[in-house]
Amino acid sequence: MMEPGLTEEGQSATQWREKCGLSLKEKQQMLEMDTEQDRLDFISTYLENVLPKLKEAERISEIIKSDGYIQ
C-alpha cells in the first residue's frame, strides 16, 4: 500500500514543487491547497502548460547552434 501523499513513484507534491520551476506565487498557491491530490493536479497542469514552451525553446536553441539554418 502506498503512503498517503505520495505519487506512484514515491514523490510528494512538495518534492515536485521544489524541482519544477514554479514562481513564488505558484508555490504559495500550492501551500494553500488542502489536499495532496489538489497539489499534484496543480503541478500536472503546470507541467502540461510548460512543456510546449520548453520544446519551442529547445527548437530555437538548435536553430541558433546551427547559425540560423533550419535543418
Q: What is the mean pLDDT of each run of 10 residues along the chain (71 residues)?
A: 50 75 91 92 92 93 81 65
pLDDT, position 3: 46
Q: How far apart are CA 3 and CA 46, in angstroms?
A: 24
20 in a structural domain: yes
Residue 21 CA, distance from chain mean position: 7
Asked, for residue 39, whether it belongs to a domain, the answer is: yes
The pLDDT value recorded for residue 29 is 94
Q: How far is CA 4 from CA 11, 17, 50, 52, 65, in A?
A: 11, 17, 27, 31, 46
45 occurs within a structural domain = yes
Whether 54 is in a domain gets the answer yes
Nearest to 43 by CA among 57, 4, 35: 35
- Number of domains the chain is built from: 1
Q: What is the pTM of this model?
A: 0.64
Residue 43 is part of which domain span?
13-65
Asked whether residue 3 is domain-assigned, the answer is no
In a domain, 18, yes or no: yes
Residue 71 is predicted with a pLDDT of 65
